[in-house]
Structure 1
Amino acid sequence: MFLDIFFSLYHVSRIDPSLIKIGLHISHEQSQQAYIDASLGLFLSEWYNSSRPFVVYIHGFMQNDKHDSAVNIISALTKLDYNVFSVDWGYMAFESGGTAGLGLPFYNDAEQNSRIVGMCLAEIINAAAHYGKITFGQVSCVGFSLGAQVCAHFARNLNAKPSVIIGLDPPNLFFSIDTAYTERLTSDLADIVHIVHTDRGFTGTDLDDGHANFYINNGVRNQPGCDTFFGIDLVCSHIRVCSYFVEAILFPQNSVAVRCNSYDHFKMRQCQRKFHYFGFPVDSKAKGKLYFNTNSAPPYLKGIQGAYP
């Protein structure tokens, strides 16, 4: 039967299924949620439409799916003609069951947990595909920060490539150039992989591992409007990518980027006049390095003006 699936990962890793929850959303206010070992039932919900493509959003380190950035992205995605899912791995992204009960963030544990979460999600989607509830070509994964690496582990464990992965400022820590190519988010994991940079070289990766690599305000801190704490931008530039992404979904006409060889060429307007859109659904023709600038306050996106510094 459809719901009778053996989750071998729980037996191998001894992960409590209640630590990972899957949500199906039709609006900000309306959602259904199930623990991952029972989440195949969401594909039987009257809210699930097998003719629509599927997008899953995965939050980052020290977050859950109730974090403002996650809520805003999920809400924006529900405006599209997609089945919108989320993964809440908040406990595993904040404190490890292995270092139990301290209530402190252990990034190395969260990084290891990201592998397990990705594998568990893949097991769900492989089963749904086996029973004809989904095709791999319908699947997109959007992940912020460490959630982008969950998308990578998810894709590596699927029985076929997903359609799209978007990494919103994927993490730098543990995923540098020294990290094995098979361990991080790379362009071979989906038909289309977009990487979005806003804190490159600090909390965010400085690697161009996507088919398209978007550099917003050169992809570095301090993003316009980000306040500092004693001169230090703690997380503002990193998490600002989520606000840009929400605007790009809701107002796609404003999310214009230009392909360019470098930020210096961009500043001097010596680009190729090849314009593409940032956001979701993705611009499948976007390739290489793409640049645009933003305002310092909402609305952040400037349309074609952002592609002309």
Structure 2
Amino acid sequence: MQQQRIYLHGLWLISIFFYCSYCSTDAQVAKEVIGLQQPTVEAIQQRNFELLQEALPLGWKAFCEAPVDESVMLLHSGINPCDASIHVMTITNQSIQLPIKAISEVSDFDINPKRKTLVYVNAYYTPDSYFSVQSHLKLLQTTRRDLNIIVVDFARDVLQLYYTVRHHVAVQGHFVAKILNVLMQKGVAPEDVTLAGHSVGANIAALAANIYADQVTNSNVRVGQLVAIDPALMCSPADIYVQANVSSRVIVIHGEGDVFGVREQRGTIDIYPNGIGFFTRRKLQPGCDTRSCSHMYSFVLFMEALIEGVMIPAVKCDSWSHFRKRQCDFSDALAIGLKYPKQSKGVYFCLTQPNPPFTFMEHGIKYQRSLASSAKTNLI
């Protein structure tokens, strides 16, 4: 019996020895792991950038669900809605950048109540490329001196875009509404104002139009028109503010209609270049091989119309099928830009090219297989 106890005791000691050896080894490993260099805040932030850059081409769902470390983002400047900027023009044709909190100073610059006014809301980031949003907008400001042009920029980089689409839309809508109030105090008539924006910016512009209408005493006073360029699907459907009643007239220029832009009709006028976003089997705009390219395509059309003065006509049709069969109301045509016939209402189609100049001119409103097939060249 004593021998058995000694034997069991020995087993117990051996077990304790191995357990403690395991603990010691585990503790040593832990010490080694702790001793390793921890990722710096800058390294984590760089990883955030990489994750968002990889997710954005996949659409809003992937972008909104990217596994970023928001706590680290908050340590960096730029993601606060107050870090946005306003771009206004001087009488010497210079574009000046102001912080968003300098809204009251907008009226100190070259704002003429006798001109039409364009307030463009940018909330879509693009790297430097042919599709660069910022370079197009700067060129627009310096080219169209017949307009009061104010650019509100909420997304100079991909982090600002992430926080805009996830958290800041409501705040930014109020910022733009305050700019509208300043313009009206300067003597600009609401009916002479066009709010415009692409993607997320289209929804912020629509929200601003709604906020402004709610704030004025006369409930019939609304901004003249909203031009919503491929409005974003957003992270939440509740943030899709583009609706036909947010301003006196709402023009929606569709571009992608799948993972980035809305497919359904949202305006008093809905333009579907090349049927993309309307006809489900057609996915990519001419010359595009990615959805993000198609999402940007309608923005480039709008810029070509405004900067180059190129006419890009579209015709009213009941459907893409009717457009292909030329069963359209050819007496009801319009051109992409800022001016639209008062009586125009409904769905419009056109054919465009893969490279600038994008227009087929009047040939673009009458479907031709040869024109449609020529749109296979890669966009520059």
Question: Which TM-score band (shorter chain)?
Answer: 0.7 to 0.9
- Corresponding residue number in structure 2 for 1:106: 162
Q: Report the secondary structure of 1:120's partner residue.
A: helix
Alignment of 1:1-309 (within 5 A): 18-25=82-89, 30-45=94-109, 47-63=110-126, 68-76=132-140, 78-79=143-144, 81-90=146-155, 94-95=158-159, 106=162, 110-129=165-184, 131-158=185-212, 159=216, 160-174=221-235, 179=237, 184-220=241-277, 221-226=283-288, 228=289, 233-250=290-307, 252=309, 254-273=311-330, 274-309=332-367
1:16 to partner: Cα distance: 5.7
RMSD between superposed Cα atoms in Å = 2.9
Q: TM-score, normalised by structure 1?
A: 0.79
Q: TM-score, normalised by structure 2?
A: 0.65
- The structure-2 alpha-carbon separation of the partners of 1:74 and 1:264, relative to structure 1 and needing over 3 Å to count, comes to farther
- The structure-2 alpha-carbon separation of the partners of 1:183 and 1:235, relative to structure 1 and needing over 3 Å to count, comes to closer
Residue ranges of structure 2 left out of the alignment (5+ in a row)? 1-78, 278-282, 368-380
- The structure-2 alpha-carbon separation of the partners of 1:17 and 1:172, relative to structure 1 and needing over 3 Å to count, comes to closer
Q: Report the secondary structure of 1:85's partner residue.
A: strand
Q: Report the secondary structure of 1:49's partner residue.
A: coil
Q: Report the secondary structure of 2:314's partner residue.
A: strand
Which of these two proteins has the greater Rg computed from alpha carbons? 2
CA distance in 2, matches of 1:25, 1:44: 10
The question of whether the paired residues in 2 share the 8 Å contact of 1:111 and 1:146 is answered with no
1:261 to partner: Cα distance: 0.4
CA distance in 2, matches of 1:245, 1:128: 24
CA distance in 1, matches of 2:139, 2:114: 21
1:252 to partner: Cα distance: 4.9
CA distance in 2, matches of 1:64, 1:194: 27
- The structure-2 alpha-carbon separation of the partners of 1:116 and 1:300, relative to structure 1 and needing over 3 Å to count, comes to same
1:74 to partner: Cα distance: 4.7
* Matched-pair identity in %: 24
The question of whether the paired residues in 1 share the 8 Å contact of 2:196 and 2:205 is answered with yes
CA distance in 2, matches of 1:28, 1:198: 36
Q: Report the secondary structure of 2:329's partner residue.
A: coil
Q: Report the secondary structure of 2:286's partner residue.
A: coil
Q: Report the secondary structure of 2:170's partner residue.
A: helix
1:42 to partner: Cα distance: 2.5
- The structure-2 alpha-carbon separation of the partners of 1:65 and 1:161, relative to structure 1 and needing over 3 Å to count, comes to farther
Residue ranges of structure 1 left out of the alignment (5+ in a row)? 1-14, 97-104
1:26 to partner: Cα distance: 6.4
CA distance in 1, matches of 2:188, 2:293: 37
- The structure-2 alpha-carbon separation of the partners of 1:106 and 1:247, relative to structure 1 and needing over 3 Å to count, comes to closer
Deviations, residues 58-86 of structure 1 (Å, cap 9, x unaligned): 12333599972243145235425210000
- The structure-2 alpha-carbon separation of the partners of 1:128 and 1:69, relative to structure 1 and needing over 3 Å to count, comes to closer
